[in-house]
Chains A and B, each alone.
Chain A
Amino acid sequence: MEFEDAELVGEFVIESNEHLADIENQLLAIEEGGENVDLELVNTVFRGVHSIKGAAGFLGLETIKELAHSLENVLNKIRSEELQPTSKSTDVMLRAGDKLRNLINDAANSNDVDVSEQVAALNEVLSAGSTPPAGQETETESEPTSEVAQEPASDSEVPKPEAPPASETNSATDSAGETTAKPQSSPKSTAEKTTPPNPAKPKAAANASVESSIRVSVGVLDQLMNLAGELVLSRNQLLQAVASNERAVLQAAASELDGVTSNLQEAIMQTRMQPIGNVFSKFPRIVRDLSSQLGKECKLEIEGKEVEVDKTIIEAIGDPLTHLIRNSVDHGVELPQTRTESGKSAEGSVWLRAFHKAGKVCIEIQDDGAGINPEKLKQKAIEKGVLTPERAEQMGDREAVRLIFHPGFSTAEKVSDVSGRGVGMDVVRTNIEKLGGNVDIESEIGVGTNIRVTLPLTLAIIPSMIIKSGDVRYAVPQANVAELVRLRAGEVATKIGHVKSAEVLRLRGSLLPLVRLDRALGTASQDDEREHGPMNIVVVETGQVRYGLIVDGIHDSEEIVVKPLGRHLKDCTSLAGATILGDGRIALILDAAGIANAVGVRLTHDPEEQDNADDSGLAEQSESQSLLLFSSDPTDQFAVPMGVVARIERVTIDQIDSIGGHELLQYRGTSLPLISVDETLDVKPRPDCSRLYVIVFTIGDREVGLIAPQLDDIREVSSDIDSETFRTAGVAGSLVVDDRLIRILDVFQLAEKSNPQWFAETREKVKDEDATPRILLAEDSAFFRRQVAGFLQAEGFEVEEFEDGAAAWNALKSGSVEVDMIVTDIEMPNMNGFELCRCVKQDAGLQHLPMLALTSLSSPEDVAHGKSLGFEDYQVKMHRDNLIRSVRTLLKNAGNPSTNNQFAAIG
């Protein structure tokens, strides 16, 4: 048999041998367990065999697949405790395992080998249930193989779960039922007896067999060598400096060492980073083969091949991803006929995306298939005793869909040899969690399923927030930190509410459950006086929960090296490990998910309570904008849309220099140009104060700071904005909050007014282009429509304005407007942005138009949803600079169709 892809087969052989490496020991341990089946161990073997079966199936290695399938069936029976392992059945399984190994090592010729004997023996075991098969002839015929089966058992030390010397004498009497079977398999059992008692647990043995190597380019290696040389030099300098005892020399040497160390660290990390495309490249074939095998039409679209992740992750992610993709094709995408009947195109799509998000790597596997029915899942879960009916009643759909990750849970109506039994999802979750990642699933019936795997970039060093509880410092992985909230003493009473004795924080229109860290850790002091002081809240987010952690202080962020905790502390689920801080002290790393479990933070709120929160005067969700309010003088209040704010710095007045009429902030070794409202607008000069805030935003590649003497609040306001009264350059409009008039600033115009040269470059570029691009803008709020149109017109685009999606769609469809691209709001009456996008993308004449969605503040879910519908990009409404840049890029790409269709071509 010939193979197109020898590399794939090679990988399969290596991988399968890894799975089989310990199979004898594991099977023997299972046998020894007798009645008390070690389910974990059986599962391990089962998954290994299952993976082999899957991979063999798609490589067309039918014989291997057949044998693995039979073996898997037997293991499944043992797993569900319908079959008790006996020495006979173990013999049969061992022989099957050996045969499997032989077949795999000669994969090319495996299809010509006859395995009916092993398969028959396995089936016999299966049908006989707990009674051992008579199998006289198999025993004699397969003499050579049986020897092979037993040899490894006597060579290697058989790891026994707990093998105190005394148990040997006991076992004969304890398992009297089995002793009759023992003499038959005498070579093996004597081998066991002669091996010295080995305290090592089977797990350790299994781990030890996995070994890997890495390929490093000579360039990187040279760089490392070079840096090692530098390190030696730095050390010599340091030693000399210490000897000379001169502070200046010592400082120079220390900073040299500092530089070399960071370079070295970076270079070493680099040796481990590889593009994730290495894993992705094998999937198009899997999808193609699988869909033809299943009679489905399915294409795979891959995005983000170039995303780099740590080698360990690349290696470990292959198996789980294969499972997920196979699942999507097998269970997700429907048959062509079903698809056409429900109004979808006959060809299904599976998207595989990788991207960076908040210091982590996200991998999404999305299909446009049938979706998962949460009710059906609940039903199954109740049948299997995983869930009580009451619990199922309370469970939301989103949570119900997650049941799919429960071990041994399956929804497949019939067991198929492609991906059945629900074992895949279980394996996926275990493997991903082993890597410190998590996996989440979202599904909509009839629309499709989206599985998102989040993984750390590397397993060694993680950026963390150092916080304080009592006098003790803890680290919270930055990836879990969504934001920091500080409540002033006076605000605590109004912002903190109580829901059934649990504390919640009112945060921008929703309720956030709160956890007091000191209480969660059991270190709370008796007096609760602090309740009336200011309050620091770290809003943490894991895959499943989001809550506020009340801490006593927030320090800096630090890159920390994760150290494991000793075995005595394994039960501390609130902790993820420990790290050593710069001063040599230890800080424990908090596990956000563990804390949530320990204190029982609820995953979802009652919708009723949520409504109450909304009623309490906070803006309705649909058309609100969050604004950062600040004041210069008590009479002059301003607001900046949160979307444009990159971050906020607190500075002292002596960090600000004035050079040539412009103010500059001395900051992290560079200087940040500052603009001030009193410089450009007609307001009172800012009061003298020693400390002030700087709101940092970006224009192009440049960071600019806006001086905000006093920060007031972040508010959700409805777009009830007056864009006429105060209209001047730099002011976008005004509104009234709490009986005060607040002017909303257009920071880009402000910046342009004070520093026109920053904008000169981009302007010139536009003029080079020949035709004026026309842009359709759909936006229901007059204020935003005017703003965005203004932004675009200022850049030289022509803009067609429409007040909702329906108006825009009618104009497009009737051909009364012709445009080059579409910019649309999401929340609009009559037809919203998602619907508009769907219409446009389904129209053959219009689907080439690039579409950009505008939003007030975008959640990652919204962005993903929008992109899945066909939006090319997502931008925040008031961030002029990013908006313009995105419009430009999209227009440019549209003029160059090859880049647009590259993914389709691959699929």
Chain B
Amino acid sequence: MSTDLCETPTLARGELQLATFYVGDLLLGLQIDQVQEINRRLDVTSVPHSPKCVRGVINLRGEVVTVIDLRTVLGMPATELSQESRNLIVHLGDELVGLCVDRIADIITLNSDVIEPPPPNISDVEGKFFLGVYTEESEIVAILNIQEVLEINNQD
């Protein structure tokens, strides 16, 4: 199983820093170098005929950035935005994409040795969206496979 993890190109070996955040009850992590910034421009311009998972577009200092609703991608029920909702702006190739998440948590530092391969599903979310999991004292951090999450094909 661990060979699978080795072959995924996006998870580096050695020491990792993860930005963690909640979507629903799920604590998720992203490698920090994939995240450009976190903001709260939640007032999006919706785009007609866009895939369901697209919340809309925002103006990020002159760039038009697509905001993806992570809940829809992961198959969770939609909820209202709250005071704590945030956009994570991530790099996808040469494009910036926003991920709408429910709440921002800590930045954690860990060694790749402690990362385990993802189970087939985590809280009813398919395992393909994750690169691995890391168990903290009380909680499980699931590391997102950003390529898979933003794959155009699974938008509907």
Please tell me which one of the listed residues B46, B49, B53, B97 contacts residue A566 in the complex, with CB atoms under 8 A apart. Answer: B97
Q: Find out whether the CB atom of A586 lies under 8 angstroms from the CB atom of B64.
A: yes
- Whether the pair B62, A568 counts as a contact (CB closer than 8 A) is no
Which residues in A have their C-beta under 8 angstroms from that of B57? Answer: 565-566, 569, 578, 586, 588
Asked whether A569 lies within 8 Å of B46 as measured between CB atoms, the reply is no
Tell me if A563 is interfacial: C-beta within 8 Å of chain B.
Answer: yes
Checking A165, A522, A523, A580 against B59 with a beta-carbon cut-off of 8 angstroms, the contacting residue is A580
* CB contact between A568 and one of B45, B54, B59 (< 8 Å): that residue: B54
> 1/0 contact trace for B127-156 toward A, CB 8 Å?
000000000000000000000001010010
Residues of chain A within 8 A (CB-CB) of B51 are 568, 571
For residue B95, CB closer than 8 A to chain A, the reply is yes
CB distance B7 to A165 under 8 Å?
yes
* Chain A 772-792 interface mask (CB, 8 Å, partner B; 1/0): 000000000000000000000
B45 touches A522 (CB 8 A): no
Question: A580 contacts which chain B residues (CB < 8 A)?
Answer: 59, 62, 64
CA distance A750 to B9 in the complex (A): 80
- Which chain B residues border A588 with CB–CB below 8 Å? 45, 47-48, 57
Complex Cα spacing A356 to B57, Å: 35
Q: Which residue of B lies closest to A586 (CB)?
A: B45
B152 CB contact (under 8 Å) in A165, A568, A598: A568
User: Which chain B residues lie closer than 8 Å to A586 at the CB level?
Assistant: 45, 57-59, 64
Q: Mark A572-591, 1 if CB is under 8 A from B, else 0.
A: 11110010100011111000
- The 8 Å CB contact of A523, one of B48, B54, B64, B152, is B48
Q: Which residues of chain A have C-beta atoms less than 8 A from B45's C-beta?
A: 472, 578, 585-588
Q: Determine if B95 and A565 form an interchain contact, defined as CB atoms under 8 angstroms apart.
A: no
Known pairs A580-B59, A580-B62; A567 contacts B48 (CB<8 A): no
A444 to chain B, nearest CB (A): 40
Is B68 at the interface (CB under 8 A from chain A)? yes
The reply to whether the CB of A279 lies closer than 8 angstroms to some CB of chain B is: no
Count A-B pairs with CB separation below 8 Å. 74
How large, as a class, is the contact surface on chain B? Answer: 20 to 34
A387 within 8 A of B: no
Q: Bound state CA distance, A569 and B66, in angstroms?
A: 8
CB–CB A569/B54 < 8 A? yes
A521 within 8 A of B: yes
Asked if B65 and A566 make an inter-chain contact with CB atoms under 8 angstroms apart, the answer reads yes
Complex-state Cα separation, A566 to B65, whole angstroms:
7
Q: A interface, how many residues as a size bin?
A: 20 to 34
Given A568-B51, A568-B97, A472 and B62 contact (CB-CB distance below 8 Å): no
**How far, in Å, is A225 (CB) from chain B's closest CB?**
25
Segment 793-809 of A: residues with Cβ below 8 Å from B = none
Rounded to whole Å, the gap between the CB of B59 and the closest CB of chain A is 5
Question: Which residues of chain A have C-beta atoms less than 8 A from B97's C-beta?
Answer: 566, 568
Residue B63 CB within 8 A of the other chain:
yes
Q: Tell me if A572 and B152 are in contact (CB < 8 A).
A: no
Closest B residue, CB atoms, query A572: B49
Q: Mark B28-51, 1 if CB is under 8 A from A, else 0.
A: 000000000000000001111111
Q: For chain A, residues 513 to 566, give those with C-beta under 8 angstroms from any C-beta of chain B.
A: 521-523, 563-566
Nearest chain A CB to B51 CB, angstrom units: 6
B152 touches A522 (CB 8 A): no
Q: Is the CB of B59 within 8 A of A566?
A: no
- Given A522-B48, A522-B49, A566 contacting B95 (CB threshold 8 A): yes
Q: Is the CB of A572 within 8 A of B48?
A: yes
Question: B7: which A residues are within 8 A, CB to CB?
Answer: 165
Q: Are A572 and B47 closer than 8 Å at their CB atoms?
A: yes
Q: How far is the CA of A231 from the CA of B65 in the complex (A)?
A: 29
Most A CB atoms within 10 A — which of B66, B68, B92? B66
Chain B residues, CB < 8 A from A472: 45-46
Chain B residues with Cβ below 8 Å from A598 are 49
Give Cα A574–Cα B150 distance, bound, in whole angstroms. 22
CB distance from B134 to the nearest CB of A (A): 25
Closest Cβ of chain B to A78, distance in Å, is: 29
**Structural contact, A569 and B50, CB atoms closer than 8 A:** yes
Across the interface, do B64 and A565 meet the contact criterion of CB distance under 8 Å?
yes
Complex-state Cα separation, A598 to B150, whole angstroms = 26
- By beta carbon, the residue of chain B nearest A565 is B64
Q: State the Cβ distance, B8 to closest chain A Cβ, in Å.
A: 11
Q: How long is the Cα–Cα vector from A93 to B116 in the complex, in angstroms?
A: 50
A565 to B66, alpha carbons, bound, how many Å? 8
Binary A-proximity of B88-122 (CB < 8 A = 1, otherwise 0)? 00001001010000000000000000000000000
A563→B64 CA distance, assembly (Å): 7
A754–B46 CA distance with the chains assembled, in angstroms: 55
Residues of B within 8 A of A587 (CB): 45
Nearest A residue to B147 via CB reads: A199
A584 neighbours in B (Cβ, 8 Å)? 59
CA distance A573 to B49 in the complex (A): 9
A575 to B47, Cβ gap below 8 A? Answer: yes
Verify A574–B64 contact, CB threshold 8 A: no
Measured in the bound complex, the distance between the Cα atoms of B95 and A567 in whole Å is 8
| C-alpha gap A824/B152 in the complex (Å) | 61
User: Contact: B63 with A563, CB < 8 Å?
Assistant: yes
Min C-beta distance of B80 to chain A, whole Å: 19
State how many angstroms separate the Cβ of A468 from the closest Cβ of chain B.
13
Q: Within 8 Å CB of B64, what residues of A?
A: 563-566, 578, 580, 586
Residues of B within 8 A of A572 (CB): 47-50
Shortest C-beta distance, A470 to chain B (Å), equals 10
With A and B bound together, what is the CA distance between A585 and B54 in angstroms?
17
B contact residues around A574 at 8 Å (CB): 48-49
Q: With contacts A472-B45, A586-B45 known, is A568 near B58, CB below 8 A?
A: no
For A521, the chain B residues whose CB sits under 8 A away are 48-49
- CB-CB nearest in chain B for A520: B48
Q: Which 10 A-B pairs have the closest CB atoms?
A: A521-B48, A566-B66, A586-B45, A563-B64, A578-B64, A572-B49, A568-B66, A580-B59, A586-B59, A586-B57
Q: What are 25 inter-chain pairs, A to B, with CB distance below 8 A?
A: A521-B48, A563-B64, A564-B64, A566-B57, A566-B66, A566-B95, A566-B97, A568-B53, A568-B54, A568-B66, A568-B150, A569-B47, A569-B50, A569-B57, A569-B66, A572-B47, A572-B48, A572-B49, A574-B48, A575-B47, A575-B49, A580-B62, A585-B45, A585-B59, A588-B57
